[in-house]
Structure 1
Amino acid sequence: MNDDSFPKDARGRIALELKAYLSDEFDLEIGRFEAEGLLDEMLRLAGPYLYNAGLRDAQALLMRHVDDVNDGIDQLERRPEA
């Protein structure tokens, strides 16, 4: 994931949260630069999986809407009178 596709303010907040997490859980102090590097690596490793999961969720939502449209079209069909 390149820097342009991830909002700068979000990167900063997440980096600070990573710093706090490492400090609280592992008594490990790192700087903001290191935290942003860790975030970059995490995004590189996990990003494709998260992106693909998002695509699958969007596809499932779209398919539900398509099913609703198909149901609506079926209800509009005119049946010949017997």
Structure 2
Amino acid sequence: MAEITFNQQEKEQLVLKIQNYFNDELAQDIGQFDAEFLLDFFAKEVGGYFYNRGVFDAQAIVSDKLENVNEVINEALFEIEKPVK
């Protein structure tokens, strides 16, 4: 799996969310550098779990949609069958 990276705008938003969380929930200030360091840690050490969950969820959706398509195709093929004796 490739390393999880964020563009500059995403990183800025995520760092702000981390800083706000620390301030609101833990009543602690965390600087931008420390928030970026924490973000990098989570992306490296925990990000794979979230990524894999997303892949699993996508697989379930695709599988469900393909099953529906398969049913529609089978019905359409059944409709064009010619009767035989």
Q: Does the pair score TM above 0.5?
A: yes
The aligned length equals 80
* Partner secondary structure for residue 80 of structure 1: coil
Query: Structure 2: 5+ residue runs without aligned partners?
Result: none
Q: How does 1:42-81 map to 2 (within 5 A)?
A: 42-77=42-77, 78-81=81-84
| Shift of residue 65, structure 1, vs aligned partner | 1.6
Alpha carbons of 1:54 and 1:14: their partners in 2 closer, same or farther (altered >3 Å)?
A: same
Overall identity of the aligned pairs, in %: 32
**What CA RMSD, in Å, does the superposition of the two structures yield over aligned residues?**
1.7
Q: Per the alignment, in what secondary structure is the counterpart of residue 15 of structure 1?
A: helix
* More helix per residue: 1
Gaps of 5+ in 1: none
Q: Which residue of 2 aligns with 1:35?
A: 35
**Structure 2-normalised TM-score?**
0.79
